[in-house]
Structure 1
Amino acid sequence: MAEAQVHQRPVNTKRPTPGRARDAYFDNAKYLAIVLVALGHAWEPLYATSRSAAALYLLVYAFHMPAFTLISGYFSRSFDMRRDRLQRLVTGVVVPYLVFQVAYAAFRYAAGDRPDLSVDLLDPWFLTWFLAALFVWRLTTPLWRIVRWPVPLALAIAALASASPDIGSTLDLQRVLQFLPFFVLGMQLKPEHFALLRRREVRIAAVPVFAGALAFAYWAVPRMNDAWFYHTDSAETLGAPWWCGMLMQAAMFGCSLVLTACFLAWVPGRRAWCSALGAGTLYGYLLHGFLAKGSRWWNWYDAPWVHTPWGAVVITLIAAAVVTVLCTPPVQRALRWAMEPKMDWAFRPARRCSSTSPTVRC
């Protein structure tokens, strides 16, 4: 845990480049968030047999993807239609999406989850929804910089999406729109906001907030449909009236935002052993999906010991260790061709400006 003075240090506002040191705080936050994603998937099969595991599952699902989305929005603030940023959008988002849509389809076919080998590039499966969402969100970034009330507008769009059962599965737009407010809010945040969260008194206050949230989750397990936390369906699909979906959207945004703030308050600000893994979180995110789904298809959770308290602890430790390994530099180097390809061959050479006049823009 960082010292009390850490909150006074300014947070780096620029995106890291190869020649600039990365911001340890955000690297730590991304790593911890991706570990929570893996833990959520590891706890899901225990939901029906352990109320404690189900409570932890609900708690994690209330904020882990909102936190990841908010951080993504923060680092997308400078995105515009400049050539290098568009190329990065293609190589860092579109290409991994295509690669893993195909890889997941082949994996499902090989595992016997589907009878034929077919790929639907417009219907994200499992974890690839986030790449589709990131592509849409970043393309709309210039719009959010010019509207007067970006966060209320994004909340209104999310509420309308929750009330609209006919959006369809194309690019998983229901989830894209319902998570949109967190991305837009991240765009509005500044370094001083994160500095406030890292104050000692905020970290202390986060303890009872999380304890209360866990107690509420334990109470809610048999009383609440956990599908609300996925943001994949409209209210009507979940058996509720349309206006209930709009109210739930607002309530869950507030709940997720508070828990995200508590999570970010606990993130260490100093460089730690896990800081180097922050650059590989997308690797861990997409790769652990094979094990998350394979563990169900291959009946790994059928063993009786898995559904004991100590079995749940072992599953938790294994999930955290696996996703940690998948974020390491050796894995990044081995799969950079698919996750971060240069692809210079696919783009036209940049046109050089020969004009020396300061009034001429090329």
Structure 2
Amino acid sequence: MVSPLSPARAGSPSSDSAPVGGGAGAVERDPFFDNAKYLAIALVAVGHAWEPLPGSGRVVEALYTFVYAFHMPVFIVLAGYFSRGFDLSPKRLWRLVTGVLVPYAVFEVAYTLFHRAVEDPGFPLTPADPYWILWFLPALFLWRITAPLWQLVRWPVPLALAIAALASMSTGIGDDLQLMRVLQFLPFFVLGLRLRPEHFAYLRRAWVRAAALPVFLAALLVAYWSVPRVTTSWLFRSYSARELNEPVWTGAAMTLLLFAAAIVLGACFLAWVPRRRLWMTALGAGTLYGYLLHGFFIRGARYLGGYDDPFLETPPGRVAVTLAAALLVTALCTPPVQRLFRYAVEPRMRWALRRDGDGTQA
């Protein structure tokens, strides 16, 4: 299974990085996608590190709103883009199981035991209710398993948007597998399925990069304005309009508004992602490790009193938290960490496959 967070061989529509350059038969990872994945995972970690800050203030709240408006949508669009070649063949289904469901089971147990050790000894194990950041894995499984269907319908993105809007206006969707999030983030995955390499190439144009800067500035100003007026809970896609004590129709309106904002800001973000191979490129192959492991450190710091230091209420303290989160997730994406935790994050599990009569694995 290939996700936008995990390493893969390039050279196919479902691979992690599109092939670039080279002669006949040459296969190479595209540095652009690895760079994008690393920068996006850094934003994810920083956003999670900002959440527990005491008295974070309006500036941090504005930055938080700004980052959350596009960082997960970018991830999910890339997940869809690298799912274009997914079919229901046994080989791909097995990769989906070992690459998503098995790590989900392993880390759901690990985070539950961790939570019991540092916070609540009676904390229950609830596989149907993912622990914090782990919601993305079952969501990715559900999105990818439906990828062939979205490739068949005539207007996939409008249909996915309609489903997301209906979900945001409903009240009957439970917490199982974070289904509300799965449905509200669905349009980004479907959009990724419809994208082609030329769409990403378009972002290389000079005018797009130049326009991205004032757009980012305007978005930051809007985020600063919205902090005391609009709840950031809309950005999590975990609640319906009624659950946020808003009129039902605002669910559909916010679905469309946030989708448009995420696409514009995501395009601006990708326009400035470096295209050449840099120090961060190698880290892009290990972002799944950074994603799954950084939560132990941030939740541990929160539960063990690391956020109680008055220094963190000062501007230098908030900068220190930001830099620490970025450095932490960088370290967790490195090859040594990948080798150490590969058994849990990317298990091959060949022992679990049955063998045909000729001795080959099914």
Name the TM-score, length of structure 2 as normaliser: 0.91
Q: Aligned residue for 2:346?
A: 340
Q: Aligned residue for 2:61?
A: 54
The within-5 A match list for 1:20-31 is 20-31=27-38
Task: Note closer, same or farther for the CA distance 1:132–1:257 as it changes in structure 2 (3 Å cut).
Answer: same
Task: Note closer, same or farther for the CA distance 1:24–1:276 as it changes in structure 2 (3 Å cut).
Answer: same
Unaligned runs of at least 5 residues, structure 1: 1-10, 353-361
Q: Aligned residue for 1:38?
A: 45
Of residues 317, 328, 332, the one that matches 1:326 is: 332
Question: Partners of 1:13 and 1:64 in 2: how far apart?
Answer: 23
Of residues 60, 83, 98, the one that matches 2:105 is: 98
Of residues 184, 201, 224, the one that matches 1:195 is: 201
Q: Aligned residue for 1:242?
A: 248
Q: Aligned residue for 1:125?
A: 131
Contact 2:12/2:85 (8 A) holds in 1: no
Q: Aligned residue for 2:15?
A: 15
Question: Partners of 1:172 and 1:141 in 2: how far apart?
Answer: 19
Of residues 313, 316, 328, the one that matches 2:319 is: 313
Question: Partners of 1:293 and 1:16 in 2: how far apart?
Answer: 29
Q: Aligned residue for 2:85?
A: 78
Task: Note closer, same or farther for the CA distance 1:166–1:84 as it changes in structure 2 (3 Å cut).
Answer: same
Q: Aligned residue for 2:355?
A: 349
Question: Partners of 1:29 and 1:351 in 2: how far apart?
Answer: 45
Amino acid at match of 1:138: R
Superposed CA deviations along residues 164-218 of structure 1, whole A, max 9, x for unmatched, are 1221011110000000000000000000000001211111100000000001111
CA drift at 1:48: 3.7
CA drift at 1:45: 2.5
Secondary structure, counterpart of 1:222 in structure 2: coil
CA drift at 1:47: 7.0
Q: Aligned residue for 1:232?
A: 238
Question: Partners of 2:205 and 2:107 in 1: how far apart?
Answer: 40
Question: Partners of 1:157 and 1:240 in 2: how far apart?
Answer: 19
Q: Aligned residue for 1:356?
A: none
Task: Note closer, same or farther for the CA distance 1:177–1:21 as it changes in structure 2 (3 Å cut).
Answer: same
Task: Note closer, same or farther for the CA distance 1:350–1:225 as it changes in structure 2 (3 Å cut).
Answer: farther
Question: Partners of 1:64 and 1:295 in 2: how far apart?
Answer: 23
Of residues 209, 215, 218, the one that matches 2:221 is: 215
Contact 1:46/1:53 (8 A) holds in 2: no
Task: Note closer, same or farther for the CA distance 1:99–1:14 as it changes in structure 2 (3 Å cut).
Answer: closer
Q: Aligned residue for 2:23?
A: none
Question: Partners of 1:321 and 1:42 in 2: how far apart?
Answer: 12
Question: Partners of 2:353 and 2:164 in 1: how far apart?
Answer: 35
CA drift at 1:49: 3.2
Q: Aligned residue for 2:157?
A: 151
CA drift at 1:14: 5.8
Contact 1:158/1:249 (8 A) holds in 2: yes
Secondary structure, counterpart of 2:100 in structure 1: helix
Q: Aligned residue for 1:69?
A: 76
Moved over 4 A (4+): 11-14
Q: Does 1:273 align with 2:290?
A: no
Unaligned runs of at least 5 residues, structure 2: 1-10, 18-25
Amino acid at match of 1:15: S
Question: Partners of 2:299 and 2:204 in 1: how far apart?
Answer: 36
Task: Note closer, same or farther for the CA distance 1:89–1:244 as it changes in structure 2 (3 Å cut).
Answer: same
CA drift at 1:264: 0.6
Question: Partners of 1:206 and 1:294 in 2: how far apart?
Answer: 36
CA drift at 1:46: 3.2
Root mean square deviation of aligned Cα:
1.9
Contact 1:161/1:178 (8 A) holds in 2: yes
Question: Partners of 2:284 and 2:343 in 1: how far apart?
Answer: 19
Superposed CA deviations along residues 117-155 of structure 1, whole A, max 9, x for unmatched, are 531111111011000100000000010010000000000
Contact 2:83/2:144 (8 A) holds in 1: yes
Superposed CA deviations along residues 100-133 of structure 1, whole A, max 9, x for unmatched, are 1000100110012x34253111111101100010
Secondary structure, counterpart of 1:21 in structure 2: coil
